[in-house]
């Protein structure tokens, strides 16, 4: 009888361990996410813009973060340079050509550990109809129950940084006066589905 109890207890613990280690699907919280990019302008300033209205999904495996995946769609209707005329120019055929290519997308292809609470996330970034691999340096903010004002559900948060060369995406207008390198900073919150 005692052996049967141990077998049952071991089975419950194994099931609990498996449940705790299962990947969890999260939906991007656009109200608590910023996708910022910045560039150098004539060597005098470093303007920045936000790509709002982001939609995305994270499948996060806390026990094995390298098995996690992330996908995001960033509609250019959410582009905000904080200067309305510049918004128009950035959406024009000179730069992003939003009429022809209305979305920027990212889909992860590989996740590797890069130290405690840090990951390198490589994925396919599509901008201006061109898809190129990009690697982002990701820092884990934390996980837990969100405040009631945010729905009270489980939440995880990350910050990611990286850079791209816009010429690789066939966006060459103004180079070198407007820098080819574009720096990326993403602050993202995800809520459990």
Which pLDDT band holds residue 148 (cuts at 50, 70, 90)?
Answer: confident
Residue 142 pLDDT greater than 90, yes or no: no
Mean pLDDT of 112-140: 97
Region of poorest pLDDT, from 6-15, 79-88, 170-179:
6-15
Mean pLDDT of 100-111: 98
* Beta strand 79-80 pairing with 69-75: unpaired
Which pLDDT band holds residue 105 (cuts at 50, 70, 90)?
Answer: very high
What pTM does this model have? 0.86
Residue 107 pLDDT greater than 50, yes or no: yes
Nearest-CA neighbor of 113 among 71, 149, 67? Answer: 67
Nearest-CA neighbor of 47 among 187, 137, 170, 179? Answer: 179
Task: Output the pLDDT for position 21.
Answer: 58
**Which tokens sit at 96?**
């992003």
Which pLDDT band holds residue 20 (cuts at 50, 70, 90)?
Answer: low
Q: Which residues contact 27 (CB under 8 A, 6 or more apart)?
A: 56, 57, 190, 191, 192, 193
User: Residue 38 to residues 10, 52, 78: CA-CA distances in angstroms?
Assistant: 54, 15, 16
Total Cβ atoms within 10 A of residue 95 = 19
Which pLDDT band holds residue 9 (cuts at 50, 70, 90)?
Answer: very low
How far is it, in rounded angstroms, from Cα 142 to Cα 13?
25
Q: Per residue in 2-39, is it b (16+ CB within 10 Å) or e — as a string?
A: eeeeeeeeeeeeeeeeeeeeeebebebbbeebebebbb
Higher pLDDT: 155 or 11? It is: 155
How far is it, in rounded angstroms, from Cα 123 to Cα 110?
7
């Amino acid at each position: 009888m005692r052996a049967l109890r141990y077998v049952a207890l071991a089975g419950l613990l194994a099931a609990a361990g498996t449940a705790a280690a299962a990947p969890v699907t999260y939906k991007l919280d656009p109200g608590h996410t910023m996708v910022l990019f910045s560039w150098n302008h004539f060597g005098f300033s470093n303007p920045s813009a936000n790509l709002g209205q982001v939609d995305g999904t994270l499948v996060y495996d806390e026990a094995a973060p390298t098995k996690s995946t992330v996908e995001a769609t960033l509609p250019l209707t959410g582009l905000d340079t904080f200067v309305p005329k510049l918004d128009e120019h950035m959406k024009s055929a000179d730069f992003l050509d939003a009429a022809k290519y209305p979305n920027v997308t990212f889909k992860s292809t590989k996740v590797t550990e890069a130290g405690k609470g840090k990951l390198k996330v490589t994925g396919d970034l599509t901008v201006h109809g061109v898809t190129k691999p990009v690697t982002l340096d990701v820092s884990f903010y934390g996980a837990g129950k969100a405040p009631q004002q945010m729905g009270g559900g489980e939440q995880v948060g990350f910050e990611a940084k990286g850079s791209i060369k816009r010429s690789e995406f066939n966006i060459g207008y103004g180079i070198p006066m407007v820098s080819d390198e574009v720096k990326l900073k993403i602050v993202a919150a995800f809520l459990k589905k």
